Structure 1
């Protein structure tokens, strides 16, 4: 069977840069591919949203903390960064944490947080860019208050993830999580060749953004190698695994990658990576 474009690039030793919105997204969506690529070529994971601001938190933020059994967001994100370092080192790939605040804890520019101002103390949502999960974060709409963050993501992408002859992997934004859409938007605006990954586990309940797929003339490739290795890597994110998979089992489903149909000539023929 003909090799898929990602296998072709990896086997040729082309470096791989994975853009990860949060401190588990790269492994959740691309863990099988990265397990195969590690040792065959250079792999680097660049994670954007790796911090949390100080309390008071929104109701959505507090619900998330309860879901993962934590009370302090700053302490949780220190734990999450440590987990990610351990997983990356076990996998044998390079990593970089950019230190931007997760949208659950991201305040409007100039907002003072909870230490000053009684309004933000009584109603924390008033100072947050995305005050609720369902009505703001999960809509996939980037807030006008978040243009600074988008600029930071774009600048970081230019500096860290765009050497010549590199396969750049970015989220496709399945499920509409705004942090995923921010990274996708920055990758799309970069003007560089990008392969997009289907965001797992969101893709188990949501369909791709057809407007985005059609706009970029994307075609799908399935990747089914190293899925057992991926399961072990996901378990390394101890603070998140139980909340993500409350029934305890990670579905062994193929990873999905989308690339421009025009890239056939440069990446090789399309095929199933099984």
Structure 2
């Protein structure tokens, strides 16, 4: 007989740490589970990519700002951080913003004479790690320019997953499956995968509605356990809509097409 990591953690009072690439991903993908778990154990959402950058912006970044109803990325991310604090505080969930730059606004590290010139205003795309959304940022791969960032993320996630100094097992990590292939989600997934700690991987909503799980990743990590979570799903719309700068474009008319939350993990002996 086997038991799942989620149920075992909640029953044993193990804190949950949900790794959220962006300011809304945790609630979009795990909102119902977190609301239930918070009644029994401490829940913390650690959001990794929580800042924008000053102009010049790529065409994809300008489109994203337009959909959010703003023209300045730093102003947008200040609003997004405020939304996240408001939503998670209302859910009685602890939050932490790590302060890394979101993929659409992330620039390559300047080298040589280019460092003196600064970012190109005529063609901002050449200075960005992911110059276009679909072709680069959502293409299912991590840019070589993000190698230092991945090391930073790996250290951060490793510290979050460290055992309790008093001898406890430490928190249970929840990390994205990176369904949809967004580079920021892949970076967080990779950092969790290399943490050498037990991890429950969650399906990235709303990408789960139209895209499939990376079968190679599932096989490589032996993710033979699955939970389809539906408890409290109906109450999930309100916190999702609390992310106003994003939800207006994602869910026109305020209709959130809710679906069961997906969690994959290694089964453990009961």
Normalising by structure 1, report the TM-score.
0.90
SS at the partner of 1:221? strand
- Which residue of structure 1 aligns with residue 166 of structure 2? none
Deviations 1:3-48 (Å, cap 9, x if unpaired)? 7541332122111000000000000000000000113101111100
1:81 Cα offset (Å): 0.2
- Which residue of structure 2 aligns with residue 18 of structure 1? 18
- Which residue of structure 2 aligns with residue 40 of structure 1? 40
1:149 Cα offset (Å): 1.0
Matches within 5 A, 1:52-131: 52-110=52-110, 117=117, 120-131=120-131
Q: CA RMSD in A?
A: 2.0
- Which residue of structure 2 aligns with residue 223 of structure 1? 229
Gaps of at least 5 residues in structure 2 are 164-168
- Which residue of structure 1 aligns with residue 213 of structure 2? 208
Q: Is the 8 A contact 1:35 1:229 kept in 2?
A: no
1:264 aligns with 2:245: no
1:235 aligns with 2:238: no
Q: Is the 8 A contact 1:111 1:127 kept in 2?
A: no
1:247 Cα offset (Å): 4.7
Q: Is the 8 A contact 2:5 2:200 kept in 1?
A: no
Q: Is the 8 A contact 1:162 1:168 kept in 2?
A: no
Given candidates 177, 185, 193, the residue that maps to 1:180 is 185
SS at the partner of 2:175? strand
Deviations 1:105-159 (Å, cap 9, x if unpaired)? 00001279xx973871100001000001011001121111111111111111122
1:242 Cα offset (Å): 1.3
- Which residue of structure 2 aligns with residue 132 of structure 1? 132
Normalising by structure 2, report the TM-score.
0.92
Gaps of at least 5 residues in structure 1 are 269-274
Distance 1:84 1:126 in 2: 32
SS at the partner of 2:120? helix
Distance 1:243 1:70 in 2: 12
Equivalences, count: 262
Given candidates 178, 202, 224, the residue that maps to 1:197 is 202
